[in-house]
């Protein structure tokens, strides 16, 4: 159980999930009900990996096997999905489609070898509004086969909790918002703390790994007081790092920044990570200089590109996807309940699935072939569109060519468009959905079949 008595001044120690066993990357994880202090002075009941907020950081290594023994201590079924990893379908953690739900009391062993290095994350893929919303979200860091030499490697998972000022839960979803941008939480945190302070030696080469693990919020990020560069987007190194001004990350998305800790940080010079809402900036974390002597300034290391197969754009087949809005009440759910449907992929809302009831895929792809997904958002709200098991190469946004970048989640703005290519090289049925959790739960979900 974690307590954050020093919430305003210090970061918590991440809990340890590592198992001492001969296997280097061996972890034990549980999902359980826990109580913790998020709003200072108040206890909140949460769902937590290993009973801790923030969840343990799983550290793996590129090309090395990882074993995670997962035990479900909730009173409902669940699974764990490893967001952004190109691993075999059996380990993808989607109930019914790739594995049986892990029932209360059961243990499931996830074993895989991550091919790509970077900042990823993990979360259940069942009852997601509640399971993710109440805290089952954690960072998964895949270290490079040859580790770049940063002085600081910091992970910040960003989440707004649906808690009031006394730490009591408010509704995680409201139909009125589910049909629009999603229901935002009110208590903003980084690693479970509202505006934590991190302290580094001046001159430190900092790698800041930011992950948006929120159900709803898109953070338009800015870092004040220091010049930083973007080194990776959604886990994948960019081909040429560029100056970070501001960058939007939707739910599920990540951003890796690199900067050198300045010598003086106070007042207007202080280093603050903010998110912008209109003209206003709200702090997510702030950075101060520790009292130790400064480090000599050395250059920021470069990251190696991940071994993602390069799609053949000439030979690629284009598949068009339109994301649209249409309010309706679906007659019945798999558990017999009626539920709201607001969102469609190519005129079809996702109706859920169950053991004997797997709907048809939204696309049938041929193993080994290159595809261009032509994504079109015909709505007034943004949608971070995520594909499991593959990594997109985005080369066009809103009708304009962009410096191609790799990502597992493409953020479509209001009426936004994107062209994202990839090689369908991973056989299986792969979820394909908006990562605004209420959108995926009210229709904006499907899967593609690669065979």
252 binds, among Cu ion, ligand C2O, none (CB under 5 to 8 A by kind): ligand C2O
Residues 82-101: x where in contact with ligand C2O by CB under 6 A, - otherwise, as a string: -x------------------
Give the C-alpha separation, 274 to 257, whole Å: 14
Tell me if 131 sits within 8 A of 425, measured CB to CB.
no
Q: How far is the CB of 438 from Cu ion (least distance, A)?
A: 8
- Nearest residue to ligand C2O, by Cβ distance, number only: 83
Looking at 252, 262, 311, 384, which residue binds ligand C2O (CB under 6 A)?
252
We find the least distance from the C-beta atom of residue 373 to ligand C2O, in angstroms, to be 16
Residue 318 CA neighbour count, 13 Å, CB half: 8
Is residue 157 left, alpha or beta, with left meaning phi > 0 and alpha meaning psi from -120 to 50? Answer: beta
Quick one: which of 190, 201, 174 has its CA closest to 223?
A: 190
Report how far residue 238's alpha carbon sits from residue 232's, in angstroms, rounded to the nearest whole number.
Answer: 5
Q: Using CB distances below 5 to 8 A depending on partner kind, what does residue 436 bind out of Cu ion, ligand C2O, none?
A: Cu ion
- Residues forming contacts to Cu ion in the complex (CB under 5 A) are 83, 383, 388, 434, 436, 439
C-beta of 101: minimal distance to ligand C2O in Å?
A: 15
The contact pattern for ligand C2O, residues 124-143, with x = CB under 6 A and - = no contact, is -x------------------
CB 110, min distance to Cu ion, A: 14
Binding partner of residue 211 among Cu ion, ligand C2O, none, CB cut-off 5 to 8 Å per kind? none
Using alpha carbons, select from 425, 422, 451, 426 the residue that is nearest to residue 311.
422
Beta bridge partners of 392: 407
Q: Which does 383 bind (CB under 5 to 8 A by kind): ligand C2O, Cu ion, none?
A: Cu ion
The answer to whether residue 388 forms part of the interface with ligand C2O (CB under 6 A) is yes
- Residue 254 touching ligand C2O (CB under 6 A): no
Distance CA 142, CA 90 (A): 20
197 vs 220, which CB is nearer to Cu ion?
220
Quote the tokens at residue 163.
């808690």
Q: 301 phi and psi, to 5 degrees?
A: -65, 155
Q: What is the DSSP string of 329-355?
A: EES--TTS--EEEEEEETTB-----BT
Q: Confirm or reject binding of residue 441 to ligand C2O (CB under 6 A).
A: no
Give the bridge partners for 135, in sequence order: none
- With 0-12 / 13-18 / 19 or more C-beta atoms within 10 angstroms meaning exposed / middle / buried, residue 383 is buried
**One of 431, 434, 444, 448 touching ligand C2O (CB under 6 A):** 431
Closest approach, Cβ 430 to ligand C2O, in A, equals 9
Q: Contact region for ligand C2O (CB under 6 A) — 159-167, 170-178, 321-329, 431-439?
A: 431-439
Residues at the contact surface with ligand C2O, assessed by CB under 6 A = 81, 83, 123, 125, 252, 386, 388, 431, 433, 435
């Amino acid at each position: 159980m974690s307590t954050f008595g020093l919430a305003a001044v210090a970061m918590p120690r991440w809990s340890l999930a590592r198992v001492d066993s001969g296997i280097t990357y061996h972890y034990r994880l549980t999902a359980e009900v826990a109580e913790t202090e998020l709003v200072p002075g108040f206890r909140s009941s949460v769902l937590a990996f290993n009973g801790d907020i923030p969840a343990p950081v799983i550290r793996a290594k590129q090309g090395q096997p990882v074993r995670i023994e997962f035990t479900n201590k909730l009173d409902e079924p669940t699974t764990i999905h490893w967001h952004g990893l190109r691993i075999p379908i059996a380990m993808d953690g989607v109930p019914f489609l790739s594995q049986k739900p892990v029932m209360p009391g059961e243990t499931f062993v996830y074993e895989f070898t991550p091919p790509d290095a970077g900042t990823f994350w993990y979360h259940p893929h069942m009852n997601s509004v509640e399971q993710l919303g109440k805290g089952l979200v954690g960072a998964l860091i895949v270290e490079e086969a040859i580790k770049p030499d940063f002085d600081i490697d910091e992970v910040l998972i960003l989440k707004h909790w649906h808690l009031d000022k006394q730490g009591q839960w408010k509704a995680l979803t409201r139909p009125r918002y589910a049909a629009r941008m999603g229901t935002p939480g009110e208590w903003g945190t980084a690693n479970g703390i509202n505006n934590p302070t991190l302290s580094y030696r001046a001159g430190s080469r900092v790698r800041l790994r930011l992950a948006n693990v929120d159900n709803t919020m898109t953070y338009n990020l800015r870092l004040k007081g220091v010049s930083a560069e973007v080194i990776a987007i959604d886990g994948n190194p960019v081909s040429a790092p560029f100056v970070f001004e501001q960058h939007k990350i939707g739910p599920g998305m990540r951003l890796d920044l690199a900067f050198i800790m300045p010598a003086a940080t106070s007042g207007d010079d202080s280093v603050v990570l903010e998110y912008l809402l209109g003209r206003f900036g709200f702090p997510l974390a702030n950075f101060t200089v520790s009292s130790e002597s400064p480090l000599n300034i050395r250059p920021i290391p470069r990251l190696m590109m991940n071994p993602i197969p390069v799609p053949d754009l000439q030979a690629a087949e284009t598949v068009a996807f339109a994301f649209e809005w249409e309010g309706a009440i679906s007659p019945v759910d798999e558990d017999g309940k009626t539920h709201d449907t607001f969102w469609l992929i190519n005129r079809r809302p996702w109706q859920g699935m169950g053991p004997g009831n797997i709907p048809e895929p939204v696309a049938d792809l041929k193993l080994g072939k290159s595809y261009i997904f032509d994504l079109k958002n015909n709505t007034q709200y943004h949608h971070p569109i995520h594909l499991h098991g593959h990594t997109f190469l985005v080369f066009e946004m809103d009708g304009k060519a962009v410096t191609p970048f790799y990502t597992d989640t493409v953020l479509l703005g209001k009426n936004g468009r994107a062209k994202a290519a990839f090689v369908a090289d991973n056989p299986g049925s792969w979820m394909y959905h908006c990562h605004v959790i209420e959108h995926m739960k009210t229709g904006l979900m499907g899967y593609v079949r690669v065979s």
